């Protein structure tokens, strides 16, 4: 089976901050798109654009050639794929399933093993780039799984992202995302400290960003999240509660491998403070509240 607009029926489960845009790009590319999410109201806009609503995961799973998921937590992934009328219990043989949730590498391996038994092809393909990357179809997509399946799914990945890399065997995409989140975690603390320092010293932080954003200190977080911090715009491009989930997975995996991660540990402790203060639905840039 080749994946082509007009020929391939794509299912999409999870229409949150990022999923909305990702699914929209697939629809705009000419694919027949079937959608499901727990809260149907979130699907109204994309249904108006031509997507087909399904009342259950099982109904979507039985009709689609490719099924993409991007849900909240590993428990949600497990429910959607493995339990009851989950995808692997209702999808037809030859279906390609792609989990783009940031989830556990071990769970990705488990899904792949179960999929093979059912004659289903599986990829784990978490993404990075936040709401901006999703809106602009410039996401980095980190993929684990069989190369033939990766090559088959590549046309769909191209619709959603720009930096698309097969990292290795099943679970490799999730391990790569953990490396990504570890780098971001400590970096976000540094961005908060930097902007707080600029403000405390009496500088105009926007002017400071013009200098340091293009120098050695420059980073995606500094240049994209820094302006939001300065504007006190804490709307979520990526929720704190989901970032805490990611960091917990990374910390668990690191501990299992005997790796010390002091930067990750610090960031996780600070973000947990944010959740305790009731800010878990802020965007990750909301960490700046602790430095004000």
Arithmetic mean of pLDDT, 250-271: 97
Comparing CA positions, the residue from 72, 292, 275, 33 lying closest to residue 160 is 33
Q: How far is Cα 254 from Cα 122, in angstroms, rounded to an integer?
A: 25
pLDDT reading at 139 higher than 90? yes
Q: What is the pLDDT of residue 1?
A: 75
Distances from the Cα of 33 to the Cα of 13, 40, 67, 136, angstroms: 11, 15, 10, 19
Mean pLDDT for the chain? 96
Which of the four pLDDT bands, split at 50, 70 and 90, describes residue 257?
Answer: very high
231 CB-near residues (< 8 Å, 6+ apart)? none
Which of the four pLDDT bands, split at 50, 70 and 90, describes residue 212?
Answer: very high
Q: What percent of the chain has pLDDT over 70?
A: 100
Q: What is the pLDDT of residue 94?
A: 97
DSSP β-ladder status, 96-99 and 161-168: unpaired
Arithmetic mean of pLDDT, 151-177: 98
Q: Please state whether the predicted TM-score (pTM) of the whole model is above 0.85.
A: yes
Q: What is the pLDDT of residue 88?
A: 97
Q: Do residues 274 and 247 lie in contact, with contact meaning Cβ atoms separated by under 8 Å?
A: no
Q: How far is Cα 62 from Cα 88, in angstroms, rounded to an integer?
A: 10
Q: What is the pLDDT of residue 285?
A: 97
Q: What is the pLDDT of residue 237?
A: 86
Catalytic (active-site) positions:
177
Q: What is the pLDDT of residue 84?
A: 87
Which of the four pLDDT bands, split at 50, 70 and 90, describes residue 254?
Answer: very high
Q: What is the pLDDT of residue 149?
A: 98
pLDDT reading at 292 higher than 90? no
DSSP of 125-168: --EESHHHHHHHT-EEEEEEE-HHHHHHHHHHHHHHEEEEEEEE
Q: What is the DSSP letter of 128?
A: E
Comparing CA positions, the residue from 268, 209, 203 lying closest to residue 241 is 268
CATH number for 9-170 (one of 1.10.510.10, 2.60.40.10, 3.40.190.10, 3.40.50.720): it is 3.40.50.720
DSSP β-ladder status, 139-145 and 127-128: antiparallel
Q: What is the DSSP letter of 16?
A: S
Arithmetic mean of pLDDT, 222-249: 95
Domain 175-291 belongs to what topology? Answer: 1.10.1040
Interval 88-115: pLDDT, tens: 999 999 999 999 999 999 999 999 999 9
Arithmetic mean of pLDDT, 214-221: 95
Q: How far is Cα 62 from Cα 108, in angstroms, rounded to an integer?
A: 21
Interval 2-44: pLDDT, tens: 899 999 999 999 999 899 999 999 999 999 999 999 989 999 9
Which of the four pLDDT bands, split at 50, 70 and 90, describes residue 131?
Answer: confident
Arithmetic mean of pLDDT, 223-252: 95
Domain locations along the chain: 9-170, 175-291
Interval 47-82: pLDDT, tens: 999 999 999 999 999 999 999 999 989 999 999 999
Q: Do residues 122 and 9 lie in contact, with contact meaning Cβ atoms separated by under 8 Å?
A: no
């Amino acid at each position: 089976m080749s994946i082509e607009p007009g020929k391939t029926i794509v299912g999409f489960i999870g229409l949150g901050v990022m999923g909305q845009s990702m699914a929209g790009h697939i629809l705009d590319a000419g694919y027949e798109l079937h959608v499901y999410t727990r809260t149907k109201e979130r699907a109204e806009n994309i249904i108006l654009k031509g997507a087909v609503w399904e009342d259950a995961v099982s109904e979507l799973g039985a009709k689609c050639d490719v099924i993409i998921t991007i849900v909240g937590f590993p428990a949600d992934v497990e429910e959607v794929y493995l339990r009851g009328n989950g995808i692997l219990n209702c999808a037809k043989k030859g279906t390609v399933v792609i989990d783009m949730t940031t989830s556990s590498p071990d769970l990705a391996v488990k899904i792949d093993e179960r999929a093979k038994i059912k004659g289903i092809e599986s990829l784990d393909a978490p993404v990075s780039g936040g709401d901006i990357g999703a809106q602009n179809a410039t996401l980095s997509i980190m993929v684990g799984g069989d190369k033939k399946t990766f090559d088959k799914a590549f046309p769909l990945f191209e619709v959603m992202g720009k930096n698309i890399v097969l990292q290795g065997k099943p679970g490799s995409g999730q391990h790569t995302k953990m490396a990504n989140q570890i780098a971001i975690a400590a970096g976000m603390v540094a961005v908060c400290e930097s902007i707080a320092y600029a403000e405390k010293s009496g500088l105009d932080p926007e002017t400071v960003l013009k200098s340091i954003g293009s120098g050695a200190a420059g980073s995606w977080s500094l240049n994209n999240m820094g302006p939001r911090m300065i504007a006190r715009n804490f709307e979520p491009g990526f929720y704190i509660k989901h970032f805490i989930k990611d960091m917990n997975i990374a910390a668990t995996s690191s501990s299992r491998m005997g790796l010390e991660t002091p930067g990750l540990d610090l960031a996780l402790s600070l973000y947990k403070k944010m959740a305790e203060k009731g800010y878990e639905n802020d965007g990750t840039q909301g960490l700046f509240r602790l430095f004000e």
